[in-house]
Amino acid sequence: MESSSSICLLLLLVLALLQTDTTIGAPRAQLIEMPCGKDREANTSIFTVNFVTTMEAISDQMRTTGYGEAVTGEEPNANFGLAQCYGDLTLVDCALCYAQMRSLLPQCYPYNGGSIYLDGCFMRVANYSFYDEYRSPQDKAICNSNGTRKSTKFQESARRAVTDAAARAPGNGGYAKSQVLVPGKANESAYVLANCWKKLSQSSCRACLDSAVSSIIGCLPLSEGRALNTGCFMRYSDTSFLNEEPQSPGMLKGKIIVIVVVVLSAAVLLAIGAAIAIYARKQKIIEKKRKGSTDDAVKMAKLLHDSSLNFKFSVLQKATGSFDEANRLGQGGFGTVYKGVLADGREIAVKRLFVNNKHRAADFYNEVNIISSVDHKNLVRLLGCSCSGPESLLVYEYLPNKSLDHFLFDTNKAQALLWEKRLEIVIGTAEGLVYLHENTSNRIIHRDIKASNILLDSKLRAKIADFGLARSFEEDKTHISTAIAGTLGYMAPEYLAHGQLTEKADVYSFGVLLLEIVTGRQNNRRKHVDFSDSLITAAWKNFQMGTVETLFDPNLMFHHYNNESDLKKDASRVIHVALLCTQEIPSLRPFMSKVLEMLLNKEYNLPAPTNPPFIDENTMELNDNSSASNPFHAISCPSVASVSHSSFYPR
C-alpha cells in the first residue's frame, strides 16, 4: 500500500506543479447563481457517462479558445453543453473559472440540466439543443443588497456605461466593457461588462442585452448589479473588476506589455527597469522548474505505468461494468463509489472523481496522503489508484455490508444490529479515532464522522472511510482555522460558527453517532437542522428527566436477553457518554482515548454532562470552497443562488 500511494502522491504533486499558474489576473470564479432544471434524467448511468464526456470535450475547447460546446448521446439522455468565459479573461484565468463551474454544476443531479453564472464565465447543460435561446421567464437581475446607495451622478454614469456596452457588444463578437467617470468625482467611475454567448446572432445578442439593460437598471441606486439572462450576462459596479483585455486569445504568460510614456523621470524608469528584471528572473525560475517538473512527470508516469500497484483506467472501467449504476455503492466525499470485480476475481471498491482539475486534485491528493499514512484495523485500506487515465480513481478494499446507515436507519435491516453488535461497532469506531487523533506523528481530524462513513465488513465490524475532508496538523498546534466542511447535524458548534478545528470536532460528531446507534434515529433528517428539535436535544431532555429508555431503538429487542436490565444500563451509559461528547464547550468534551476508556470500563465513574448547544444552524452561513465538491448532489430546490455549500449531501 505504501508503494502504491507514494507513486500516486508523487505523480499528483508533479501534476500540481505542472498546473501551477502565475499569470496576473482574476478568473472571477465567484458563484452568482445556479438554477437547475426541473425534469429528472431518464437513465442515471447513461446520463452520467454522457455528462462526463461532454465536460471533457468542452474542457479541451475552453483551454484553447475560451469557449466550448459539445453534444453527447441521444435524447432523452443526450447532453448538450455550452461554456464561455467573458472577453476580458485570459485562457489561464478561463481554465480556472471553468474548473470551478465544472465542479459545481453536477450538484444539479438528478435533474437533467442547469445553468451556472460566475463573475467570469457561464455554462449551461440540458438534454435538448438550447443554443439559439436568449430569453426565458427565468431571466433576472441580482442586485447587491449589501452595497452602498450611490449618488444621482453615479447612477447617471452607470446608465450611460450600461447603455454604451450593450450598444457596442453585438458588433464586437458579443463582448464589450465600458467605464464612465462620475462627474465631479475624479476617482470614481461606473464599470460595466456585457457579454453574449457566441452562438447568438447579432440581432439575438442585441435583444438579450436590451432586456438585460432594462432589468439591471432596476438595481440602481445600489453600487452593483448583475443581469443573468438566458443568452447574455451584464454587470455594473462602482469598483473596477475588469481585467486588462488579452492581446490575443488567452495571452500566454511571459509576455510583457511595455507602455511608452513620453515623459518619465529617471526614478520611474529605474523602478520600471527593476520591476521588469525581477519579473524576468521569476519567469526564468518558473520555466526552469517547469522543465524539471516536465521531466519528472515523464519519469513518474513511466514508473506508475510499470508498477503492478497501478490500476489502468480501462481495467477499473471494465471491473465496474463501465461504472454501471447497478454497481454503485454510494457517494464519497468528492466522488461516487462503485463495486468492481477484477479479472482474478478480487472484489474492490472504486472511488470515482468526476472532475479533473487542480482544485479537485488537491482533494484527491489529500485523501491519498491521509489514508496512505495510516494503518489500523478500523480504517478502510487503500489498495492503489489510477491517475493517468481520463479520470482519477482510488481503489479500496471492498466491504460487502456497505455502510452503517444502510442497517441503522432501515427498519428491517436494523434487526441484525443487536446490542452486542452495535456496541462492537461503537468500540471499533472509537479505536479508529483514537488512532487518528493520538497514535500518528501528525494528528488527523476526520471532519465527517457519521453513519454513512462507517463501513462494515462481512462480520459487521466497523471501518472508518472517506478521508476526503480529513486534515492533519502537528503537535504544537492548538487548532486549525479552516473553511467549514462536514455534514449539518454532525458539526461541532465552535467549528460551524468560527471554523476552529480541533480533535473535539470529531468527538462531537462521534457523540451524535452514538445517539444514532442507540436510538436508530438520524440526527439530520432535514438539510437544515434546528438544534431545538434535534436528537441531541431529545437525549438531553430525557437524560435530565431520567427517561432515556424511551429513546432506545425498538429493534434492539432487549427482551431477548437474560440480562435485559444490564443491557439497558449499558445503552443508557452510551447515551451518557454521547452527551459528554456533545457538550457545547469544547474543552469539556473528553478526548477519544478517554471516551474509549469510558465505553470499555463499566466501573468508570462518568461525570455529569453540561448542556449541548441550543442554537439554530439555519442562521449560520456555511462556506466550503475547497471540498464542497461532490459531483452529483440532489438539491431540493431549483436554484441554489447565494447558498454557501458545506456537505449537505451524503458523503
Give the separation between CA 457 and CA 407, rounded to whole angstroms.
Answer: 13
**Residue by residue, what is the 3-state secondary structure of 492-504?**
CHHHHHHCEECHH
Is 375 in the active site? no
Task: Give yes or no for a contact between 434 and 593, defined as CB atoms under 8 angstroms apart.
Answer: yes
- Phi then psi for residue 62, to 5 deg, are -65, -35
Give the closest residue to 50 by CA, choosing from 112, 117, 132, 131: 112
Number of helices and strands (H, E) in the chain? 15, 21
Task: Give yes or no for a contact between 69 and 2, defined as CB atoms under 8 angstroms apart.
Answer: no
Interacting residues of 623 by C-beta distance below 8 A, sequence separation 6+ = 483, 484, 644, 645, 646
Label residue 172 exposed, middle or buried (CB < 10 Å: 0-12, 13-18, 19+). Answer: middle
Give the separation between CA 55 and CA 355, rounded to whole angstroms.
Answer: 9
Give the separation between CA 68 and CA 26, rounded to whole angstroms.
Answer: 20
Instruction: Give the number of other CB atoms < 10 A from CB of residue 418.
Output: 16
C-alpha cell belonging to residue 142: 441580482
DSSP state of 23: -
Task: Give yes or no for a contact between 353 and 97, defined as CB atoms under 8 angstroms apart.
Answer: no
Give the closest residue to 625 by CA, choosing from 228, 337, 360, 333: 360
- Phi then psi for residue 520, to 5 deg, are 75, 10
The letter for the amino acid at 77 is N
Annotated active-site residue in 448, 506, 553, 624: 448
Tell me: is residue 351 an annotated ligand-binding position.
yes
Instruction: Give the number of other CB atoms < 10 A from CB of residue 565.
Output: 10
Sign of the CA dihedral with 97 first, then 12, 330, and 529 last:
negative
Say which residue the cell 456585457 belongs to.
Answer: 194
SS3 for 352?
A: strand
Q: State the binding site for ATP.
A: 351
Catalytic (active-site) positions: 448
Q: State the binding site.
A: 351
